[in-house]
Amino acid sequence: MDVRSQIAMVFHLDKCIGCHTCSVACKNIWTDREGTEYMWWNNVETKPGTGYPTKWEDQEAYRGGWKTDGKTLSLRSTGKARIIPNIFHNPSQPSMDDYYEPWTYDFKELFNAPEGDDQPVARPISKITGEHIDVESGPNWDDDLGGSQIYARNDPNMEALTPNQRLQMMSIERLVFFYLPRICNHCLNPACVASCPSGALYKRGEDGIVLINQQVCRAWRSCVSACPYKKTYYNWSTGKSEKCILCFPRLETGQAPACFHSCVGRIRYLGNLLYDADMLPEIGNLPDDQLVDAQRRMILDPHDEKVIEAARANGIHEGIIESAQQSPVYSFVKEFGIALPPHIEYRTFPMLFYVPPLLPVMSSKENDVIDNDIEDLFGDIEKARAPISYFGSLFGGGNDGVVRYALRKQWAVRLVRRHLTVGDVTKETAERALAEADCTWEQADKIYRLTTLASMDERCIIPPFQREMAIEMMEDPHEHRASVGFGFNSAPERGN
Amino acid sequence: MQISRTGRTLLAAVLVTGALAAPALAQDVSEETVNYFKANCTSCHTIGGGRLTGPDLKGVTERQGPEWLATFIVNPARVINGGDAYALELKREAKDQVMPTLPGLTKDLATKLVELIVVESAKEKSRFVGLQLSDRPLTEEDVAYGRALYNGGTAIASGAPACIGCHQVDGTGGFGGGRLGPDLTDVYSRLEGRKPLAAWLAAPPSLTMQPIFADHPLESDEVLSMVAYLKSTAESGRPTPGHGAFAFLIAGMAGAAVILVGFDLIWRRRFRGVRRRLVMESK
């Protein structure tokens, strides 16, 4: 048993209101420099939709993640035979059009336009060429466009649906959408790290945060195509790639990452997990539909004496083990079993988990009366608007069972709360629902509390980083304090 | 460094003796001088072997004095341009081939070479009598073998590169040969026949060929076959006219264009976009 600690995250999708506050917080801190205009380390997508960059889930086009022959994993994006003919140009990466051409507006026009019959407008200007452009796409171009004939229709997850279901997802009054906030998953088996010819990417040993060394990066852009979530971006100004750093300077000073901190819907949970790295080679080659369960097996119980013993033997600090025991991520993923990894079939084993949304139930409107009667409201998750298999494709590696389990348990919690607070659901109904959902009263209460009432300190359990100790070993802490901060100590430049 | 110092000492000694008792008939000619003669003179001259491109040097000192000879050897072109009657006669005899000015040939060394010629002329049979090729008639097999050697179809035994790398002759087809060296189609007639050509082939004296062939000489049967082949081309072929180079340029550009088009086809999806296609398809 090779126990390691990993900072992991849970996003509760039922709570996301799609306000993009997280994206803006991130952009203001990290990506408001030249060359990073188009980078959204955090973005919020509307699903069904093609996301950002367009159709990032289509690995036929982008060749991200790992493929397996049943015995060994290999990168889809590159290999001995592929690397030579594509050494000067990697065709499997998003073009600027698949992201978008960053733009600003010619605001002077508003003030300097000559007097005329028309209201002056600020024309968009490309931030790359400085020329006037017609804006054709943006980082959230299909925001709230559920049922769009271009974007929703081409969502790769739609392939998991039957033609009838697909039709339903596109038809008026039946169509549905929800939000999917995305950041780097800080995967356990990161394809970006494996693909880098320069060895610029690494996964931090103490917390598993995946980073790009700006001094080592040589602009191969292998990581851009290898990452199946398209969360590494190439900075055209510095000639280096960049990605989400999980705000490690904030984490190291005990603050939640900016996107977590600013989240209006309080959908984000952060905590560390202990996992067994030895299991990775074995479970990496399992069939797609077994991967969710396998990844859960890999995550270890931090209360188990044997695990604690092995963690100590691996040099994991007592404080980190304690923090893992309080981790809300452990509760959501292992205890409740309601948080699921996105597209685990890419086999990078993402460490960001999503609680799938129950979504509003069906309602119908007749004679100006909105009708969502109790039968429909608490009928069955199978009658929910979004087909289970859509979530199965997104969060289950094609396994609808794990999604059904997660939704049923949330459904049961909802019935329990309805019984306790409103009283229009009988105790028998609630108990039956709990039994069907493999849930207890205590667990239902815990899920309810963590979902609704948890404060910032409960949602984000930041493990102690012992940076002081680590720094003390290397240099005088006072000197170090004077030499660090946000931004670059030495700016990354081309050619170094 | 060592050699040149030794060389200088020897030359100084020669000069001193030469000044005191000219013409010196030193029997102990240095190895260096012999090597120099072998490498630079024997392709055009023999000593007692008859005329090649240049005249037979046996008893040359009886025709002209050592001083005149040394001056001539150091810079033949200057003497000829100076209007020396005997030098002009030599030029006429050599069909206007002017003896090249050899690099590193000083007056001292020239004097030394003249001494060597004197010594060798005195011998019954000089070691520089020249390549003794058989006089047998050249056959069709010789021509075929020479052609194979020329094209590189058969490797030259010593490992020397095939002629086609640098030279072209009429009838090698396609793009002919390389263009570094001169066209060899009529070299047989230019060099005036079998013996001078064979001498050239046995020890090529030109600055470009010498360093390559010094350690990889042709064997005598190879020389003969090559002579046979070049004789056949001289009799039947014509030197490739100048437009060959232009054709080569055009063909090269066409080839490059084909390759670029090929690259473009193989990597035609390199600028594929995903989003724009979706929008197009929905229209």
A428 domain residue, yes or no: yes
CATH of the domain spanning B2-122, picked from 3.30.1490.20, 3.30.200.20, 1.10.760.10, 1.20.1250.20:
1.10.760.10
Superfamily for domain range B140-236:
Cytochrome c-like domain (1.10.760.10)
Nearest CA in chain B to A57: B274
Per-residue pLDDT of chain A (496 residues; tens, 9 = 90+): 999 999 999 999 999 999 999 999 999 999 998 899 999 999 999 999 999 999 999 998 899 999 999 899 999 998 888 888 888 788 888 988 999 999 999 999 899 989 899 899 999 999 988 999 999 899 999 998 887 888 888 999 999 999 988 888 888 777 888 999 999 999 999 999 999 999 999 999 889 999 999 989 998 999 999 999 999 999 988 999 999 999 998 998 899 999 999 999 999 999 999 999 999 999 999 999 999 999 999 999 999 999 999 999 999 999 999 999 999 999 999 999 999 999 999 999 999 999 999 876 655 556 666 655 545 555 567 667 788 899 999 999 999 999 999 999 999 999 999 999 998 889 999 999 999 999 999 999 999 999 999 999 999 999 998 777 778 888 888 888 777 776 666 777 776 5
- A93 touching B (Cβ < 8 Å): no
Contact criterion met (CB below 8 Å) for B173 and B164: no
Residue A279, Cβ neighbours under 10 Å: how many? 18
Nearest CA in chain B to A142: B275
Non-local (6+) Cβ contacts of A374 within 8 A are A424
Residues of B in contact with A139 (CB under 8 A): none
Host domain of residue A425:
265-459
CB contact (8 A) between residue A61 and residue B272: yes
Non-local (6+) Cβ contacts of B250 within 8 A are none
What is the total residue count of chain B?
Answer: 283
Residues of B in contact with A89 (CB under 8 A): 267, 270
What is the total residue count of chain A?
Answer: 496
CB contact (8 A) between residue A97 and residue B273: yes
Interface TM-score (ipTM) > 0.85: no
Question: Which residues in chain B land under pLDDT 70?
Answer: 1-28, 130-132, 171-176, 237, 239-244, 271
Nearest CA in chain B to A62: B274
Supply the pLDDT for residue B277: 87
CB contact (8 A) between residue B274 and residue A89: no
Q: Shortest Cα distance from B278 to chain A (angstroms)?
A: 6
Residues of A in contact with B273 (CB under 8 A): 95, 97-98
Say if strands A103-105 and A73-75 run parallel, antiparallel, or are unpaired: unpaired
Long-range contacts of B74-77 (CB under 8 A, 24+ apart): B74/B101, B74/B105, B74/B106, B74/B107, B74/B110, B75/B101, B76/B100, B76/B101, B77/B101
Nearest CA in chain A to B263: A85
pTM confidence score: 0.70
A395 domain residue, yes or no: yes
Q: Shortest Cα distance from A10 to chain B (angstroms)?
A: 30
CB contact (8 A) between residue A150 and residue B274: no
CB contact (8 A) between residue B278 and residue A151: yes
Exposed (0-12), middle (13-18) or buried (19+): which is A351, by Cβ within 10 Å?
A: buried
State the Cα–Cα distance between residues A151 and A220, nearest whole angstrom.
30
State the Cα–Cα distance between residues B67 and B114, nearest whole angstrom.
9
A311 domain residue, yes or no: yes
Residues of A in contact with B274 (CB under 8 A): 53-55, 58, 61, 94-95, 98
Nearest CA in chain A to B274: A98
Structure-block tokens of residue B175: 């793009």
A303 domain residue, yes or no: yes
Find the CB nearest A137 among B267, B272, B275: B275
CA-nearest of B157, B73, B165, B156 to B111 is B73
Residues of B with CB under 8 A from a CB of A: 266-267, 269-276, 278-279, 282
CA-nearest of A302, A118, A262, A272 to A204 is A272
Structure-block tokens of residue A365: 């409107």
Structure-block tokens of residue B243: 């437009």
The count of structural domains within chain A is 1
Residues of B in contact with A54 (CB under 8 A): 274-275, 278
- A137 touching B (Cβ < 8 Å): yes
A214 domain residue, yes or no: no
Distances B237 to B125, B172, B231, B241 between C-alpha atoms, Å: 39, 10, 10, 12
CATH for A327: 3.30.70
A169 domain residue, yes or no: no
Give the model confidence (pLDDT) of A369-413 as tens digits.
Answer: 665 554 555 556 766 778 889 999 999 999 999 999 999 999 999
